[in-house]
Structure 1
């Protein structure tokens, strides 16, 4: 019995299925013997794995993660990553703009090419690229934005490399999530959302099993969904307890999603509206890098008119005032941190202040629309602000779901009414699914 047979590791069935699918299209070989936790040999070294071997592996706990025991033909490496980044820079003008304004257009290619990527990590990235290309593409582009931010903020070479590696690997935990939950159009339930929220923890555990993976990169991955105001996950940390690299990774992660799904004006407005949730220096650097111009505005996608959105925002605020009136005796003004509703008071007050600071009044929408229609610049500002307000409201609804255990003792009627308005039912399944990814990111 090998010495390592005392260890016990259960491989995710979703990841095992992805590796098995890869093995049907190219050789995947055990480069050494694979044992289960009781010391029985499951696969001999040198064996090309097929469905029979994967079925056997699925039935046993292993002595270590599968990535460390397999190799694949045409596996990805650092040079491949640099080539892929080069293609993006060549064909995507937004990323070319980011790279140029960062001061060194070739920095990300050189940085990726210089990464030291252990074989188990290369195996996992290969499976990601071939079986979950959406996650791979998001991760690579996020690493490119993170590199630009690091250059703009003048991080030293060591921190730049660590951030680049963390960005490249920040969603490896999603390879252990049921892909059906992340599929476009799937309406995620509150119970399902917890499986998505665990992916930073899963990534941290997976990468801790890879010898030599930098602890600072793992910490950034663990915390990349944390938010300055404590509204993130998995630990609900506030600014002082979030690592500096995690703060940069959070901004890069959200920026990639918004650029891919929407446009630069929306990204610029998101950065302005969510200043309390993200690191100010990182947000300022991002806005400088994207340098949104009026010429970018024609790319905007409008899902509904501003009159509809203004009316909905007014309904949300009225529902909030009703809930606040019903529950204000339960929230001690001198000690809000001890109330289960303290987070909700903070977030809704923040939403209201953002609306007012932007110079808009949803209770007087007709006059606002008249002014906006006479000025294309104001109309663009209004539409972008309202789009982001909708994402913020949906994100708050998801946070209420996450904290439902804390709210069990409270009367549900006013809270349910607010949730109904925050989600507003005609939004559609895709809108609901995108919100947590954008606002908690901000997938």
Structure 2
């Protein structure tokens, strides 16, 4: 990641490119003179952004953050958000059908969301340069609002939650878009570049807007998990809003896959590992999943033999990785290696226990007809396994080459070598669950 990605004193090249791309459809202008750190004027107030500005900002430190100096006066506004929400509810599909009981209340609250000028700028750039990310933001906004209505929250909490859902991924504007492309194979360096986006969004909201600190914190936590299987901080003690935003971001990713059993899949994803996600979010998702049974097409049939064999391969592979992690944690290895190995062993043990509680590792004759859930569980466990690998070996930038190599040995063949390979999620930067966790 470039240093510009982490410091507001210089223009981030990817965000600037997004602003320029968005300006083709919606004027973006300088709200004040843009000056470098020595006071030299680089761009005049009220002048539209252009590629000339991009050239002038190269390798220049700025007196004020660029985002504070730009405005999109005709950019994303409340009317646009209401239109997007109506479009979502008017669609046919699992998401719109499930949320219709709350649709009128949610649309009414969308119209009342406060949009700071910097937030308006970022949302405008997201809508006009990264359409799928903007659509994901609308879905996450409505899901987060629905879970707060389900919990009986007051209007202030509801609006703050919906706004958090709307802006949670604006940090992706500061990430190389090539790394977020579905076809991109994520590498350790690419992972370390993408995973900082929640912290970038938190920093922008904290320093450049007047939105509540609780909202900024939740946005920074939206990829953290209650059991430590998140990033970028691997935090375990999250705010209430952060817990629920994390869950609804995950659910939004599952629902975007368009599967026949999307709500059942989402329910399983959230409850797979106890303590990983918020109990209220799990209750909401489980209740909606039960209500949706019988209202959506039947799930595609799965191959019984291949599904059971896949679960056994996963069990054996996880057991091998756990044993290797426990040995490395007790070996005379550097402290950082031991710490990462110890965390890997703990998370793998949680994953194994989750499989036992779901009956994933049960003898074949005891499975009965629950093969669809077993198939989904296999997918989720495979992605969690991949997530644990990334978090415990790729996240620590301080590892020396020989330390990195020692940890990598835990994951030799991190995907089982036989049976059908579970594909990467639609967004390869999202890892712990089927389509969501590393965006």
Structure 1 residue aligned with 2:334: none
Once the two structures are superposed, residues 314-360 of structure 1 have per-residue CA deviations (whole angstroms, 9 ceiling, x without a partner) of 2333234345555645556xxxxx75422222222222222222234
Once the two structures are superposed, residues 163-220 of structure 1 have per-residue CA deviations (whole angstroms, 9 ceiling, x without a partner) of 1111111111110000000011111112210111101111111112323121110010
For the residue of structure 2 that corresponds to 1:341, the secondary structure is helix
Structure 2 residue aligned with 1:64: 64
Within 5 A, what are the aligned runs for 1:92-241? 92-101=92-101, 104-238=102-236, 241=237
The separation in 2 between residues aligned to 1:22 and 1:325, in whole angstroms, is: 51
Once the two structures are superposed, residues 206-251 of structure 1 have per-residue CA deviations (whole angstroms, 9 ceiling, x without a partner) of 112323121110010111111111111122121xx21000011011
Structure 2 residue aligned with 1:258: 254
The separation in 1 between residues aligned to 2:119 and 2:12, in whole angstroms, is: 16
* 2:51 is aligned with 1:51: yes
Structure 2 residue aligned with 1:12: 12
* 2:355 is aligned with 1:355: yes
Going from structure 1 to structure 2, the CA distance change for 1:314 and 1:219 (only over 3 Å counts) comes to same
Q: CA deviation at 1:300?
A: 4.4
When structure 1 is superposed on structure 2, of 210-219 and 24-33 the one drifting more is: 24-33
Structure 2 residue aligned with 1:400: 392
The separation in 2 between residues aligned to 1:29 and 1:107, in whole angstroms, is: 35
Once the two structures are superposed, residues 16-51 of structure 1 have per-residue CA deviations (whole angstroms, 9 ceiling, x without a partner) of 111112233443322321111110111111223322
Structure 2 residue aligned with 1:381: 373
- Is the 1:29–1:46 Cα contact (8 Å) retained in structure 2? yes
- Is the 1:275–1:283 Cα contact (8 Å) retained in structure 2? no
Going from structure 1 to structure 2, the CA distance change for 1:39 and 1:358 (only over 3 Å counts) comes to same
When structure 1 is superposed on structure 2, of 60-69 and 419-428 the one drifting more is: 419-428
Going from structure 1 to structure 2, the CA distance change for 1:149 and 1:429 (only over 3 Å counts) comes to closer
The separation in 2 between residues aligned to 1:277 and 1:51, in whole angstroms, is: 45
The separation in 2 between residues aligned to 1:413 and 1:120, in whole angstroms, is: 41
Q: Matched residue pairs, number?
A: 420
* 2:250 is aligned with 1:245: no
The separation in 2 between residues aligned to 1:228 and 1:84, in whole angstroms, is: 32
For the residue of structure 2 that corresponds to 1:187, the secondary structure is coil
- Is the 1:322–1:414 Cα contact (8 Å) retained in structure 2? no
For the residue of structure 2 that corresponds to 1:42, the secondary structure is strand
Structure 1 residue aligned with 2:79: 79
Unpaired stretches in structure 1, ≥5 consecutive residues? 1-6, 333-337
When structure 1 is superposed on structure 2, of 289-298 and 382-391 the one drifting more is: 289-298
Q: CA deviation at 1:274?
A: 3.2
Q: CA deviation at 1:305?
A: 4.1
When structure 1 is superposed on structure 2, of 317-326 and 258-267 the one drifting more is: 317-326
Structure 2 residue aligned with 1:22: 22
Unpaired stretches in structure 2, ≥5 consecutive residues? 1-6, 331-337
Q: TM-score, normalised by structure 1?
A: 0.84
The separation in 2 between residues aligned to 1:397 and 1:306, in whole angstroms, is: 28
The separation in 2 between residues aligned to 1:149 and 1:155, in whole angstroms, is: 9
Higher share of residues assigned helix: 1
Q: CA deviation at 1:309?
A: 4.2
Asked which structure has the greater CA Rg, the reply is 1
Going from structure 1 to structure 2, the CA distance change for 1:259 and 1:442 (only over 3 Å counts) comes to same
Within 5 A, what are the aligned runs for 1:316-355? 316-325=314-323, 328=326, 331=329, 339-355=339-355
The separation in 2 between residues aligned to 1:166 and 1:413, in whole angstroms, is: 36
The separation in 2 between residues aligned to 1:386 and 1:325, in whole angstroms, is: 21
Once the two structures are superposed, residues 349-383 of structure 1 have per-residue CA deviations (whole angstroms, 9 ceiling, x without a partner) of 22222222223436x44x35xx64xx4xx232222
Q: CA deviation at 1:277?
A: 0.8
Within 5 A, what are the aligned runs for 1:276-295? 276-291=275-290, 293-295=292-294
Going from structure 1 to structure 2, the CA distance change for 1:414 and 1:96 (only over 3 Å counts) comes to closer
Going from structure 1 to structure 2, the CA distance change for 1:267 and 1:307 (only over 3 Å counts) comes to same
Q: CA deviation at 1:135?
A: 1.1
The separation in 2 between residues aligned to 1:441 and 1:395, in whole angstroms, is: 8
Within 5 A, what are the aligned runs for 1:426-437? 426-428=421-423, 433=428, 436=431
Q: TM-score, normalised by structure 2?
A: 0.85
- Is the 1:94–1:290 Cα contact (8 Å) retained in structure 2? no
CA RMSD, Structure 1 to Structure 2 (Å): 3.1
